[in-house]
Amino acid sequence: MINKIKNTESLDNQIEFPNEKLFTDLSKLIEQSRHQVAMQANSTLTILFWQVGKRINDDILQNQRAEYGKQIVPTVSTQLEHLYGRNFALRNVRRMMQFAEQFEDLQIVSPLATQLSWSHFIELLSLKNYEAKLFYAQLSVEGRFGKRELRKQIANKAFERTEIANVQITKYDNFPINTFKDPYLLDFLGLQNGYLEKDIETAILHELENFILELGKGFAFVERQKRMIIDGEDFYLDLLFYHRSLKRLVAIELKLGKFQAKHKGQMELYLKWLNKNERQEGEETPIGLILCAESSKEQVELLEMHKDGIMVAEYWTELPSKKELERKLHTALIEAKERFERKKLL
């Protein structure tokens, strides 16, 4: 009798599925449904928080007394928290009010709420610039960033660095806005003093995931040291990427020192070769990115490199302090805007 019980238990623990594909398909359906339910719940909660914040803001505005606002918010919060839980604690209710005030248009909030959590929006509330809020929100959606990665992007000033690059490329169709940054932060490569170009390249390949994350959405790695034979002579492109949404190859050259005018001719040669030999049907003309330790802004401006599909940007192998980073980027943005205004007057 004991043996029979053991055998029965053994059979119960070893369930066999004669149709493995059926089980896999059913599992996918269940997991997808779970994900959709979670997303729907998150979206509903975020929109509710916006509506609560807006309703309180409207009530305070209609009353037009500062003292009323100071009294009513803690009172309402205490009542809501008692009935509906910690989500409506005073600190969170104040965030809901900020949320509704800073994101005034529910038509913008609704689609974002389906893909971002309330925690994402809390991170965005501290930003002063509304355009920056929308930039980081979209960046998080496209990159499927969690709260931690979003916080890192904000700390590393992704918006400001993209804005600097955008000022340079506003007039050129080859470079849709928000495609590039300037500078690129490559501190994660861990390079020591006295490194060579090949050291940067090797470090990038070791940290390819982080490098692509720094490049931005849409970049896919294709090849290292792309060989090109021209007039029987070998040429080698440092890195070749493909940008999925732009539908074009992106050639990347790494330079140790300051940008030199001769770098343009080299990149032009590579782009023309890629256009002739690697560009496939349905793809756009290849574009190039020259990453230098230091950019020569005036030379780049005079050479009008963007007309030839070439972007020049600096890379930093060490991340400065937050204060120094803000100062450098602020100065760079002002200089870029001044150069752009000068060109408009010509």
Question: What is the reported pLDDT for 251?
Answer: 92
pLDDT tens-digit series, residues 207-238? 777 777 788 878 889 998 899 999 999 999 98
**Low-confidence winner among 118-122, 222-226, 248-252, 342-346 (lowest mean pLDDT):** 342-346
Range of the domain at 109: 20-155
Q: Looking at the predicted structure, is the pLDDT value of residue 6 above 50? A: no
Is residue 247 within 8 A of residue 237, CB to CB? The reply is: no
Using CA atoms, how far apart are residues 55 and 199, in angstroms rounded to an integer?
57
> In angstroms, how far is CA 258 from the centroid of its own chain?
27
Q: Does 99 lie in the same domain as 214?
A: no
Asked whether residue 5 is assigned to any structural domain, the reply reads no
Q: How confident is the model at residue 168 (pLDDT cuts 50, 70, 90)?
A: low
Q: Does 177 lie in the same domain as 140?
A: no
Q: How confident is the model at residue 4 (pLDDT cuts 50, 70, 90)?
A: very low
Number of domains present in the structure of the chain: 2
Q: Does 180 lie in the same domain as 50?
A: no
Asked whether residue 167 is assigned to any structural domain, the reply reads yes
Q: How confident is the model at residue 9 (pLDDT cuts 50, 70, 90)?
A: very low
Q: Retrieve residue 81's tokens.
A: 């928290």
Using CA atoms, how far apart are residues 306 and 175, in angstroms rounded to an integer?
8
Q: How confident is the model at residue 198 (pLDDT cuts 50, 70, 90)?
A: confident
Question: What is the reported pLDDT for 18?
Answer: 60
Share of the chain above pLDDT 90, in %: 31
- What CATH number is associated with residue 300? 3.40.1350.10
Q: Does 32 lie in the same domain as 122?
A: yes
pLDDT tens-digit series, residues 249-294? 999 988 888 888 899 999 999 999 999 999 999 999 998 988 888 7
Using CA atoms, how far apart are residues 264 and 181, in angstroms rounded to an integer?
19
Q: Does 176 lie in the same domain as 127?
A: no
Q: Does 197 lie in the same domain as 291?
A: yes
pLDDT tens-digit series, residues 80-92? 999 888 889 999 9
Asked whether residue 3 is assigned to any structural domain, the reply reads no
Question: What is the reported pLDDT for 192?
Answer: 66
The string over 130-166, giving b where at least 16 C-beta atoms fall within 10 Å of a residue's C-beta and e elsewhere, is eebbbbbbebbbeeebeeeebeebbebbbbbbbbbbb
